[in-house]
Amino acid sequence: MSRSADVAALAGLLADRTRASFCLALLDGRAWTAGELAALAGVSPSTATGHLGKLVAGGLLVERRQGRHRYVQLADPGVAELVERLAAQVEPAPRAPATLRASRAAEALARGRTCYDHLAGRLGVAVTDALAHRGLLDDSGGFALTREGIAWFTGPLGVPAERLRGSRRPLARACLDWTERRSHLAGLAGALLCEHLLERAWVKRIGSDRAVAVTPAGATALRDLLGLDADAIS
């Protein structure tokens, strides 16, 4: 019975619209303040603080303090996977956004975004497909980097070999994309790939949301590294 009670308690944490909106926003992998999340959800700071306290106590979020400021972020990649999978299960057919701004934001997220610490949206799926097409990723039964894939990460991509070892996190994992309804690359390899593209300014964040876009330099790099054309990543 204790197991069922724990599951019910976890489900209850996300069964509130405000708390769910906080967790979805935090899928960008960054730490947010309570005030930023309150503004996003349209609630008072005191209401946001109460909800965040429940999410931290329930293990979905962790708190970081820097000076007078309090930040929160998702506890780990497993929480991000849970939230993204729930979104993929319940997302209905696309609804017409209420405003032009909302329409543009929704399209930007569909084109490319971060799912915690890896790429998602059409960009994430296109990169995943290219890795599989080139024999760098085995997607025949789950996701696994091939020997050629590991050599590609540590060679052309430039990831230090030691960063692919010594982690309890799965090296490659399939994550169901809630806009594309297909899987994109997650796990340690997905995180390192996203980190690499952001550090080299091949991909840039758009505004304060988790939407990302490929830069001109990134378009050239992805074409050279994976054979991706502009249509696949725009």
Q: What number of H helices and E strands is found in the chain?
A: 11, 11
Q: What is the mean pLDDT of the chain?
A: 87
| Helix pair angle (187-199, 147-154), 10° resolution | 30
**Predicted pLDDT at 217:** 94
CA distance 88 to 82: 10
> What sign results for the dihedral spanned by CA atoms 172, 178, 179, 180?
positive
Q: Which domains does the chain have, with CATH numbers?
A: 2-75 (1.10.10.10), 94-233 (no CATH)
Express each pLDDT in 118-157 by its tens digit: 999 899 999 999 999 999 999 998 899 999 999 999 999 9
Express each pLDDT in 29-88 by its tens digit: 788 999 999 998 999 999 999 999 999 999 999 998 877 778 999 998 888 888 888 887
CA distance 216 to 201: 9
Minimum mean pLDDT range among 11-25, 66-80, 87-101, 162-176: 87-101
Band of residue 179 on the pLDDT scale cut at 50, 70, 90: confident
CA distance 221 to 158: 12
Mean pLDDT of 183-211: 90
**Predicted pLDDT at 175:** 87
The whole-model pTM stands at 0.74
Mean pLDDT of 15-42: 90
